[in-house]
Each structure stands twice: as structure tokens, then as C-alpha cells.
Amino acid sequence: MTRLLRIRDVDVEFGGVKALDGVSVDVTAGHVHGLIGPNGSGKSTLMDVAGGFLRPARGTVELAGRRVERRPAHRRARDGIGRTFQGLELFDDLSVAENLSVGLVGGARPARADVEWAAGLLGVADELDRLVVELPHGRRRLVSVARAIAGRPRVLLLDEPAAGLETGETAELGRALREIVAPETAILLVEHDMQLVMGVCDRVTVLQLGGVIAEGSPAEIRTDPRVRAAYLGEG
């Protein structure tokens, strides 16, 4: 099993507050790896460390065996890390095809065949010629995932890709994620939709107050007493 993304002993502090405290996560090729935890537990901070938007005060990030923790975000795209953003960051007045062709900042421009492959996988192939501004929110979110995969990344960081999706769209997204990872890609998924997380993930890491409290299969995570306690009162 190839470990495509290895995050080791990472610390991040914001003005004396430890947002991450000795966090390690391994993401294997062919796996969707979920990252869950209560609000403020450090999920977005860890995604920023993986994507190069934050340099950890301590710890290492390896992509396919290469140390990358000091490489900035635009170079990580070239290294093979794709990502989506909570705010989508699409060009609203360009078409879906143009957004996918532009790719991610710093990354290579995807070939037309890859644009069509990505759009087909996310169910937005019929909308390639429409302007992003004309699409409802859920379709835009699927376009943002399609843009992240059109560059054929080895590791894909997804930040709440199901937020605002309708049930049918979430199911479509789940199927697409399983197809994207097989067999050589790895996905790190931050998501509040527990049904999606438990349905598509091979492994799940649970953060609380900046530390890892559990790591395991969805079945193990569901029954872990520390996880149940962390989510008590959160539904």
C-alpha cells in the first residue's frame, strides 16, 4: 500500500493557541480518508498544512516520499496536490469548460480530454458551455470538484464538497469520489455530512481540540467511545 500523503507530528499555533498539536495522518493510494471533528477542532488548519497554505511550526508533510512542508501552495499543485475550497473560488463569468481548462493556480493546464473526463465524472458534462454564474449552488460545487480533478492530481484535498448539495447530487459525488481514487489517487475529505463520510471513506481520522482522538475504519469510528463523547450534543 503506497502512502501518498504522510503528515507527521504537525504543530500549528495561532497567537499562543495550539490549533494542531502533534497531529499525524497517513493517506494511502486508492483510499478516501475522512477528516472529521467538532467545530474548531483543526480540520481546515490541517488541510491548509497539506495544501501549502500554512507552514507548520513543527512536523513534516511528505507527498509520494518527498518532503514538501516548506513548499508554497502554488508549487504543491505542480507536485500533484489538487484541492477545493469552501468558497469555491470559481470564475463566475467564465464557462464551466473554461474554469476546468484554467485548472488550479500553479498547476498545469488540463487537456481537453481530461476536462471532459472530469465533467463527466461529476455529472456536469451537459453544462460545459454554460457560464458558472448561471448555475445553482450545488452544480457550482460539483464544478469546483471537477476542476480539482481535471489536473489529474495524485492527492486530492476536498473541503466540504457536499455542502449545499441536494441528496441526489451527494450520492453522485460519493460515486465519483470512489472512481477518482481507484487505484492510484488518494483523497483527504473534510465533510460534515456523516452519511457521506461513513459511506465512502476507507479510513477516518477524528480531531478534537487540535489532537487526533481516533483513527480507523468507519465501523470502528462509529463505535469508538471517545468519538461518541466528542459528538455528544452535536447530533
In the complex with ligand ATP, the residue whose CB is nearer, 44 or 60, is: 44
What is the SS3 assignment for 30?
Answer: coil
Query: Considering the rule CB under 6 A, would residue 42 count as an interface residue with ligand ATP?
Result: yes
**Of 29, 32, 37, 206, which lies in the binding site for ligand ATP, with binding defined by CB under 6 A?**
37
**Position 39 contacts ligand ATP (CB under 6 A):** yes
Closest by Cα among 95, 31, 23, 27 to 54: 23
Q: Which of 4, 5, 19, 118 binds ligand ATP (CB under 6 A)?
A: 19
Q: CB-wise, 99 or 205, nearer to ligand ATP?
A: 205
Q: What x/- string results for residues 170 through 199 when contact with ligand ATP is judged by CB under 6 A?
A: ------------------------------
Q: What is the DSSP secondary-structure string of 104-172?
A: STTSPPPPHHHHHHHHHHTT-GGGTTSBGGGS-HHHHHHHHHHHHHHT--SEEEEESTTTT--HHHHHH
Q: Which three cell numbers stand for residue 126?
A: 451537459
Burial of 15: CB neighbours in 10 Å, binned 0-12, 13-18, 19+: exposed
Q: Shortest gap between Cβ of 37 and ligand ATP (angstroms)?
A: 5
22 contacts ligand ATP (rule: CB under 6 A): no
Q: What is the DSSP letter of 178?
A: H
Shortest separation between residue 40's beta carbon and ligand ATP, angstroms: 4
The DSSP bridge partners found for residue 216 are 204
Shortest spacing between CB 7 and ligand ATP, in angstroms: 14
List residues bridging with 190 in a β-sheet. Answer: 35, 159
42 or 174, CB closer to ligand ATP? 42
Measured between alpha carbons, how far is residue 6 from residues 54, 62, 119, 214 in Å?
A: 16, 5, 29, 17
SS3 call for 196: helix
User: Does 16 sit near ligand ATP (CB under 6 A)?
Assistant: no
Stretch that binds ligand ATP, among 33-41, 60-68, 72-80, 225-233 (CB under 6 A): 33-41
- 10 Å CB burial of residue 199 (0-12, 13-18, 19+) is middle
Shortest reach from residue 114's CB to ligand ATP, in Å: 30
Residue of 24, 28, 44, 60 that binds ligand ATP (CB under 6 A): 44
| Region binding ligand ATP by CB under 6 A among candidate stretches 42-50, 97-105, 135-143, 176-184 | 42-50
Task: Work out whether 51 is an interface residue with ligand ATP (CB under 6 A).
Answer: no
Neighbouring-strand partners of residue 61: 7
Binding site for ligand ATP (CB under 6 A): 14, 17, 19, 37, 39-45
